[in-house]
Amino acid sequence: MIEVEIVELNDEKAKLILKGTNNAFVNSLRRIMLSEVPTIAIDEVNIYDNTSVLFDEQIALRLALIPLKTDMESYNLPDECSCNREGCTLCQVSLTLSAEGPKIVYSEDLISTDPKILPADPKIPIIELKDGQKLFLEAIARPGLGKNHAKWQAGVACGYKNMPMIAITGCDQCNACITECSQKILKPQGNTIVVIDPFKCTLCRLCEDACDVNAIKVEEDEKTAIFNFETDGSYTAQELLLQATNILQRKANALKDTLQTLQ
């Protein structure tokens, strides 16, 4: 059974230590966060009045990349909706924007028909309107997957590494390893060198190369991983992790059922 130790967890990011696992499992979780967790993003924009300095297409691109808080319990993916992709309240939500300069238009100026589907950050600048310039539009947001477009990517900066294991024996206190360590995680203590923060080790092994007496050895624990990820704001970090693990479980069950039919 996999053990999970929470090193850091807030709404935006998390750092976990996964014990009793392997790189294949952790990488599967990472890839699902990036490409398989559904989010809601602006997918279509109808611009009725635009006298700003930007073309309609540029404004639409900016709107599409604004992360929206996502509630997939109330919405279906368009391909799975009973409306057959015609568009209904179960697979899309409308947001309107009406602004006149002089002002900077922010994401908070988008008015949603669903109070649960709002920009994750209200202060994302969209455009600066000068005196007399206007912008009036309707945006249609739909659920989608990150593997189809980056605007639906819930997880960002998802990465992992095996837990570093640094052993120091027979140190002659030349301090060459301390000088070479780019992360500055080594320091002298008594008659030896100690590791301050093994989490920061990048496994570059420059300290090994610098040691003439082979007193330091850096290895990886292949059954323990340090897993870091951030969210774009559509989910909290905890929600994103639960969504990804549930999807991974469903995929594993589907594979198991398929294999059983081959027996």
- pLDDT the model gives residue 214: 80
Going 116 to 119 to 122 to 126, the CA torsion angle's sign is negative
CATH number of the structural domain 39-152: 2.170.120.12
Its CATH architecture, for the domain 3-35+156-228, is 2-Layer Sandwich (3.30)
Nearest to 216 by CA among 182, 152, 143, 165: 165
Q: Please check whether residue 158 is in contact with residue 229, taking contact to mean a CB–CB distance below 8 angstroms.
A: yes
- pLDDT the model gives residue 147: 95
Q: Please check whether residue 138 is in contact with residue 96, taking contact to mean a CB–CB distance below 8 angstroms.
A: yes
Residue 114 backbone phi and psi in degrees, to 5: -115, 115
Edge-to-edge strands, sheet with 39-50: 39-50, 134-144, 93-100, 111-112
Residue spans per domain, the chain: 3-35+156-228, 39-152
Q: Where is 39: in which H helix or E strand? A: strand 39-50
Q: Which are the contacts of 84, defined by CB distance < 8 A and separation ≥ 6?
A: none
Q: What is the mean pLDDT of each run of 10 residues along the chain (263 residues)?
A: 92 95 94 96 96 96 96 90 88 96 96 95 96 96 96 94 88 81 85 85 86 84 94 95 95 90 79
Output the six-digit token pair for 66. Answer: 């604004």
- pLDDT the model gives residue 151: 96
- pLDDT the model gives residue 87: 86
Q: Around Cβ 236, how many Cβ atoms within 10 Å?
A: 17
3-state secondary structure of 189: strand
DSSP 67: -
- pLDDT the model gives residue 42: 97
